Structure 1
Amino acid sequence: MAVLLPINPEHPEPRKIKRAVEILEQGGVIGYPTDAVYGLGCDLMNKAAIERLYQIKGMQRDKNLAFICPDLADISRYAIVENAIYRVLKRFLPGPYCFVLTATREVPKMVQMKQKTVGIRVPAHPVTQALVRELGRPIISTTAAPPGEEPMVDPWEIKERFPGLELVLDAGAGGSVPTTVVDLSEGEVRILREGAGPTDELV
């Protein structure tokens, strides 16, 4: 059963971030807040942990996982970012968006979509940013919601619903609207899902 660990949403305590990162490094799966909804996640580079994440959520293997980078500079390791794409990313990130980009060889095949693309997030949330900075590489992100259901907003309920988690970082009630998903992989803006991020300036 997961441990529920209260954490300051504005100024996350370093020892609590360190504890969460130690769990990620050991192949654990955790629940954590983002600027949109609570997420479930693990270390991008741990294949066994990614398999566990699919099992814990009850998610089919063809469902895509996004991953979280600490900042724009880190994105270019995992995705091809041309000038026009960079301008879009710089305008809307950090923020409640997931951008679908062409993957580089650094991205494990397990998390690549069929077209060799990848969904990348840079959330505007101090806890999420602290996690990826401390880990030193991206963490996988999927909405904390049973398949086909609405996002869960209560950290305690997330802990109860997903007993395979090692830890849930409790930063208070989460949002109920997931990210806006935008495909930039073909050089034009295609909105795949309207969500927490406004779309009127994207098109």
Structure 2
Amino acid sequence: MINECLKKISEGGTILYPTDTVWGLGCDATNEEAVAEIYKIKNREESKSLIVLVDSLEMLQQHVLVPQKAIEILENTEKPTTIIYNNPKGIAQNIINKEDNTLAIRIVKNEFCESLIKAFGKPIVSTSANVSGNPTPKSFSEIEKAILDSVDYIVNLHQDKIATKSSTILKIDGEDIIVIRE
């Protein structure tokens, strides 16, 4: 499974995969054409940014300056937590929020995702597997046919699992921590 995912995302393809939260659409987060394909699959405007997954604090620090406050939050949270960082680098430009030059990134805590990202050596996109405006599917069986038909590879893992949570989303602005989603 991981080898097939690696092959597809290395070629600029898209995958449908289980994350530490919900089923996600993914691709190489450094490849603008692949990111554009995710937007097309979701029927989503490119002005709405996506979440990126990394496998470690070290990989995170390759792409953003990580404030000490963020490190403390990440070290002390049990729930999947996405943090919006300023001035990302080494990431596809069409994934970055154009208004304020920010990017939402989560250090994933999921064996499959960690193994995939570690083997790939670069961040991958993670956005819910739904057409924009439609409800986020809580299980594989709820994923729309249009999504299933649009991706290059579907991971055959945990397809019976029901998602019970989305990630917490925080934005650190100077000394302030802003909760975007609990």
TM > 0.5: yes
Go from structure 1 to structure 2 and tell me whether the alpha carbon gap of 1:83 and 1:97 turns closer, same or farther (over 3 Å shift).
Answer: closer
Confirm or deny that 1:111 pairs with 2:99.
Answer: no
Alignment of 1:87-102 (within 5 A): 87-92=72-77, 95-102=79-86
CA RMSD of aligned residues (A): 1.8
Pick closer, same or farther for the CA change 1:175–1:152 going to 2, 3 Å: same
Aligned: 1:63 with 2:63: no
Q: What amino acid maps onto 1:80 in structure 2?
A: L
Distance in 1 between the 2:120 and 2:162 partners?
A: 23
Which residue number corresponds to residue 11 of structure 2?
Answer: 26
Quick check: 1:144–1:152 contact (8 Å CA) kept in 2? yes
Alpha-carbon distance in 2 for matches of 1:181, 1:35 = 14
Q: Give the 5 Å matches for 1:1-203.
A: 16-92=1-77, 95-113=79-97, 114-158=99-143, 160-162=145-147, 163-170=149-156, 171-172=158-159, 173-194=161-182
Structure 1 gap segments, 5+ residues each:
1-15, 195-203
TM-score by length of structure 1 reads 0.80
In 2: Cα distance, 1:82 partner to 1:112 partner: 19
> Is the deviation greater in 108-117 or in 35-44?
108-117
Q: Taking structure 1 as reference, are residues 84 and 154 closer, same or farther at Cα in structure 2, changes over 3 Å only?
A: closer
**8 Å contact 1:38–1:174 — kept in the other structure?**
no
Give the share of equivalent positions with the same residue, in percent. Answer: 23
> Could you tell me which amino acid in structure 1 is paired with residue 178 of structure 2?
R
Q: What are the Cα deviations for residues 29-50 of structure 1, in whole angstroms up to 9, with x where unaligned?
A: 1111112111101001111111
Taking structure 2 as the reference length, the TM-score comes to: 0.89
Between the aligned partners of 1:154 and 1:88, the Cα distance in structure 2 is 28
Comparing 128-137 and 143-152, the one that deviates more: 143-152
Kindly indicate whether the alpha-carbon contact (under 8 Å) linking 1:101 and 1:119 is maintained by their aligned counterparts in 2.
yes
Q: What CA distance in whole angstroms lies between the structure 2 residues aligned with 1:166 and 1:179?
A: 25
Instruction: Tell me how many residue pairs correspond in the alignment.
Output: 178
CA drift of 1:104 comes to 3.3
Shift in alpha-carbon separation, 1:54–1:154, aligned structure 2, 3 A: same
